[in-house]
Structure 1
Amino acid sequence: MAKSDTSKASALNEKEGIKAPDTLSSASAKAIKSKRQKQPSVPYLVKGITEGNITALSRAITLVESTNPKHSEKANKIVTSCLPHANKSIRVGITGVPGVGKSTFIEALGKYLTENTKKVAILAVDPSSSLSKGSILGDKTRMEDLVKIKNAFIRPSPSGDSLGGVARKTRETIILCEAAGFDTILIETVGVGQSETAVHSMVDFFLLLKLAGAGDELQGIKRGIIEMADAIVINKADGENVKAAKAAKLEFNRALHLYPEKPSGWTPKTALCSALQNEGISEIWEMITNYFTETKSSNYFEAHRTEQNKFWLLQTIEERLKSNFYNKTEIKSELQQQIELIESGKTTPFAAAEYLLRL
């Protein structure tokens, strides 16, 4: 490969946030460059993913996220081919309201894990731009240290208009990351709407980040999220905030005892940390590993994964039916007419829906 070509490929990889693994041979690098201009085949991408090729993984995820029917068909084949190599990771969901320090916490945890020989994939569901509907890629900016680490992979995805801001294809992306050899998957939610419920359905451990003195310690609106949590971590427990953080931890600890016992048999824990000061991170990971030890020994871990797969099946059917309905040519034209009739008071939403469904 000529020096100028190498520079161009390097610049393109840097722009896309792609890091070529050290294990790639020069022949593999040349093959990737030659195929960059055209869409690579399914076997080519699957082989690349299972060999830990980050470029192949990124391109496959792009296909998974695409709304193009041809891309979706190709993505389904890739995901199916990767399934035998998946399901060997720890999946952790991390949520919390904006400003709680999710990105700082995830970066601290990710750095700790990579320093301890873990391969970490962070699937950060980014808030979409209100104008372009694309991801604003904020997490790659905020996690500037982690993005440089070889064994870390950060994939921001535009939340778009999917349920609660959760990227539509996060579940399939998890499988691809696992097939690429990532043994720890961290999934960040945007912390709004029903995204927590969706993420809870695709992870093994659900961690809720909270702040002391934010006024939402025991609000009823947070009850559902607290009930889902396997651990509540009070972040920013440093400086003058330590006393308030300890008081908040005590309050949450009392509240957790009021909730019914979890099917896993696990008793939710509370903890303090300062992601900025890198304090309490190792203790939190020890808590998470204790959870896996307990749930695997009781066989709950595998049973829970099976239940999640059933849920994914039903969700996929619902998504496909919805997509097929709205993409039909006659529906596209008639839907606007029915909206106009509703606006003029000539029909009801129920009658309009019945008419469109009969089409």
Structure 2
Amino acid sequence: MAEYTTSKPEWAPEKDDENKFACGVMSGIDGITDTTVGNLNPALKNGTMKPKRKMVLSVDDYIKGVSSGDRVTLARAITLIESNNPKHFRKAQQVLQGLLPKTGKALRIGITGVPGAGKSTTIEAFGNMLCDMGHRVAVLAVDPTSSVTRGSILGDKTRMGTLSRREEAFIRPSPAGGTLGGVARKSRETMLLCEAAGYDIILVETVGVGQSETTVRSMVDFFMLIVLTGAGDELQGIKKGIMELADAIVVNKADGDNLLKAKVARAEYERMIEFIRPATEGWRTHAYLASAYKKTGLKELWDVIRAFEKVTHESGVFKRRRDSQLLDWVHSMIDEHLHNLFFDDPVVLGRMPEIREAVLKGVISPTQAVAELIHIFDVQRATQRHVDLFHPENQK
């Protein structure tokens, strides 16, 4: 196993005392059997300190820990779910299978809006109110991801300082990773883990890019759109189609000098809704006023959500939507798996550069290129390479 090494950043003063400089770069350690653990403390490595928790968890450890509501185990289980390592995939599916009977009992609420609308601040105030009512709240906050570094600031949790310290709440920020709609690919499975851990309300905050919020709609029961006054997004909302997905439109920052403008904006949205098809059968979407800063309008908003839950349960729409979402999930995973089979196939990878060059030079058309790639692709051969990911006998 490799030794730890430390070094200073390039911008550190050359002659500065090492003990006075607060920033250093620590190398990773090769040979860790479970990469979900991360870096090891040197004291753990040389045996002078014993770990407080097991470094490598078994499937039973994950199931027992999540079922008991242990937040550390839940966080590690989510990391396992998000891993793209084939070995972790098999283990994650076993964990999910063991926890499946404990899922499906939470109310799932999606929250979206333009950047700066106050989504994180609203979730902070709304989540604290729900915790005070006796609920357990899980927040899945998705941050924009840099197209250059693939990294993320993950600033949502910093805006939820009070909520993140509560025992009744669990906040999981994660980078969007360029995923359509700003929702990570594993968000559905993460929701199931949170439900199995006993959280009865799941809040999913999106990046709010506007064009692809159908991804969130396909995951949640109630979809909330947060808007601002004077942002010029009233008509844009109709053009983008977001309002057609919303079960409630919340005009945020309705306080102080902005209160009158917020009331005017609410009236405008109410008029717009008249021309839009309802997002949920049997439910009429309306616009509401709220202030996350003053914590006003949140109780009324919760009453609206509970009324929505009652109406849709009685009409059967709630269950039909859940069933439809499960089937959509199956179809999306089939699409993803077939996509991976094609682009991971060695024969396709071998011919791809040649065909790309031919397309760019105008030798063949894009349609011809696709036809040739499909022709050389052998589904049976490609499937055989990936069958170990799904075959029960290999999920050990």
Q: CA deviation at 1:244?
A: 0.8
Aligned pairs for 1:177-196 (under 5 A) are: 177-196=194-213
Is 2:162 aligned against 1:145? yes
1:115: which partner in 2? 132
How far 1:262 sits from its partner (Å)? 5.0
| Residue pair 2:210, 2:240 contacting (<8 A) in 1 also | no
Decide which moves more: 84-93 or 188-197: 188-197
27, 30, 33: which one pairs with 2:52? 33
Q: Residues 147 and 306 from structure 1, CA distance in 2 versus in 1: closer, same or farther, beyond 3 angstroms?
A: same
Cα distance in 1 between the residues matched to 2:237 and 2:61: 51
- The question of whether the paired residues in 1 share the 8 Å contact of 2:163 and 2:169 is answered with yes
The amino acid across from 1:257 in the alignment is E
Question: 1:16-31, aligned counterparts within 5 Å?
Answer: none
Q: 1:150-189 maps to which residues of 2 (within 5 A)?
A: 150-189=167-206
Tell me if the contact between 1:92 and 1:203 (Cα under 8 Å) persists in the aligned partners: yes
**Cα distance 1:347–1:256, how it changes in 2: closer, same or farther (>3 A)?**
same
- 2:288 counterpart residue number: 271
Check the 8 A contact 1:135/1:156 in 2, yes or no: no
Contact 1:166 1:195 in 2 (8 A): no
CA-to-partner distance for each residue in 1:232-270, whole Å, 9 max, x for gaps?
Answer: 000011111111110110011111122234553011121
Q: Residues 1-359 of structure 1 correspond to what in structure 2 (within 5 A)?
A: 33-36=52-55, 38=56, 40-219=57-236, 221-222=238-239, 224-358=241-375, 359=377
Give the Å deviation of 1:339.
2.1
Name the amino acid aligned to 1:329: P
Report the TM-score, using the length of structure 2 for normalisation. Answer: 0.79
Q: Counterpart of 1:295 in structure 2: which amino acid?
A: T
Shift in alpha-carbon separation, 1:107–1:31, aligned structure 2, 3 A: farther
Aligned-residue offset at 1:42: 1.4
Query: 2: distance between equivalents of 1:356 and 1:138?
Result: 42
Q: Per the alignment, do residues 333 and 157 of structure 1 end up closer, same or farther by CA in structure 2, a change over 3 Å counting? A: farther
Q: Deviations over 1:3-40 (max 9, x none)?
A: xxxxxxxxxxxxx9xxxxxxxxxxxxx9983422x3x2
Does structure 1 retain, via aligned residues, the 8 Å contact 2:247–2:280? no
Once the two structures are TM-superposed, the CA of residue 346 in structure 1 deviates from its matched residue by 2.5
Matched letter for residue 255 of structure 1: M
Distance 1:229 1:108 in 2: 21
Contact 1:92 1:186 in 2 (8 A): yes
Offset at residue 132 of structure 1 (A): 2.8
| Structure 1 residues not aligned, in runs of 5+ | 1-15, 17-29
Identity %: 49
Distance, in Å, in 1 between the alignment partners of 2:116 and 2:141 is: 15
* Cα deviation, residue 344, structure 1: 2.6
The answer to whether the 8 A contact 2:278-2:285 is kept is no
Aligned residues: 329
Q: Give SS of 2:283's match.
A: coil
- How far 1:225 sits from its partner (Å)? 0.9
